């Protein structure tokens, strides 16, 4: 993808992100309804508070799905380490078919992972958004009050629901699969990586760990950041394509 297309896609998807945030903020029933599909009400114990809602998220109790979640959780850092190793190998080949365009694209992938899922989502938003997770709210078996997406007045202290870190990582993996996989493994690895990038956010909703808005906005945030960083790293490239050594393709 060239810089011009990346820039247009960045602004278009940023606008979509803002519109989605407004939709989820002004219509919080969307989150409540979707989460309700995965919540199984149960009889409260005798010592429960009056009018308490009790129950579980059954998918969160499934051992296989929890193992699958663990696998998906480590995909972004594993892919990031792969890019770092690949970048080091390219830098060591300076003067012998060095491909500066490929190096810039790989650096864009690494920087977008650090700025998006790592810093913006896990380092800032999840720590300061104060939105309780579904399983912690009084609507779905918890004790904290519900707040809509984008409302920072909730009672969560840290590692909060807005926005989903795992969904953000999955969005980055989606971009990695589309733009950074070597051509020799693309056919084999792209389908499972894209599948994982779509299943992982859905599992967070099914587990009661996040509302749909948290996962949708988290996932899309990484795509937006990836496109913006990609544009910044590729905007000065020549229009003609750069030939690449066969071992780097």
pLDDT by residue (tens digit) across 1-19?
888 999 999 999 999 999 9
Average confidence (pLDDT) over 27-50: 90
Assess if residue 67 is contained within a domain.
no
Instruction: Decide: helix, strand or coil at residue 5.
Output: helix
Enter the pTM of the model: 0.91
Higher pLDDT, 148 or 92: 148
Q: Is residue 29 part of a domain?
A: no
The beta-strand segments (E) located in 13-100 are 40-41, 55-56
156 CB-side CA count, 13 A: 27
pLDDT (tens digit, 9 = 90+) per residue, 106-120?
999 999 999 999 999
Strands (E), 98-248: none
Residue 71 lies in a domain: no
Residue range of the domain that includes 230: 3-23+82-238
Number of domains in the chain: 1
Could you tell me the two tokens for 131? Answer: 């939105």
Residue 237 banded pLDDT, cuts 50, 70, 90:
confident
Average of pLDDT values for 64-84?
97
pLDDT over threshold 60, residue 249: no
Residue 108 located in a structural domain: yes
223 inside domain: yes
DSSP lists the bridge partners of residue 137 as 144
**Mean pLDDT, range 83-95, rounded to an integer:** 87
Q: What average pLDDT does this structure show over 24-49? A: 91
- First vs last Cα of the chain: how many Å apart? 15
Instruction: Please state the rounded mean pLDDT for residues 96-105.
Output: 83
Tell me: pLDDT of 40 over 90.
yes
Quick one: pLDDT at residue 96?
67
pLDDT category of residue 240 using cuts at 50, 70 and 90: very low
Q: Is residue 191 part of a domain?
A: yes
Report the distance separating Cα 130 and Cα 115, nearest Å. 21
CB 187 within 8 A of CB 172: no
Is residue 161 situated within a structural domain? yes
Does residue 126 or residue 45 have the better pLDDT? 126
Average pLDDT, the chain: 92
Whether the per-residue pLDDT at 242 is higher than 60: the answer is no
CA dist., res. 214 & res. 130, Å (int): 12
Determine contact, residues 173/79, Cβ cutoff 8 Å: yes
In a domain, 169, yes or no: yes
CA distances from 194 to 7, 181, 186 (A): 23, 12, 11
Mean pLDDT of the 240-244 span: 47
pLDDT for 248 equals 43
């Amino acid at each position: 993808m060239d810089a011009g297309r990346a820039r247009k896609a960045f602004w278009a998807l940023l606008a979509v992100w803002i519109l989605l945030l407004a939709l989820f903020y002004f219509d919080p029933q969307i989150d409540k309804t979707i989460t309700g599909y995965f919540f199984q009400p149960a009889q409260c114990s005798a010592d429960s508070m009056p009018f308490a809602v009790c129950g579980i998220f059954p998918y969160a109790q499934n051992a296989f799905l929890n193992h699958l979640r663990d696998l998906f959780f480590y995909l972004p850092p594993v892919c990031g380490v792969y890019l770092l190793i690949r970048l080091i190998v390219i830098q060591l080949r300076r003067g012998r078919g060095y491909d500066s365009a490929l190096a810039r694209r790989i650096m864009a992938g690494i920087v977008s992972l650090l700025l998006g899922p790592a810093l913006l989502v896990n380092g800032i938003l999840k720590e300061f958004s104060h939105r309780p997770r579904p399983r912690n709210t009084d609507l779905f078996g918890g004790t904290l009050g519900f707040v809509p997406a984008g409302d920072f007045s909730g009672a969560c202290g840290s590692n909060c629901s807005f926005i989903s870190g795992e969904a953000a990582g999955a969005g980055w993996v989606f971009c990695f699969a589309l733009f950074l996989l070597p051509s020799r493994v693309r056919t084999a690895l792209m389908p499972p990586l894209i599948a994982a990038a779509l299943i992982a956010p859905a599992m967070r909703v099914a587990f009661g760990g996040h509302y749909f808005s948290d996962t949708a906005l988290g996932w899309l945030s990484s795509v937006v950041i990836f496109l913006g960083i990609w544009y910044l790293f590729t905007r000065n490239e020549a229009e003609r394509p750069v030939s690449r050594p066969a071992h780097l393709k």
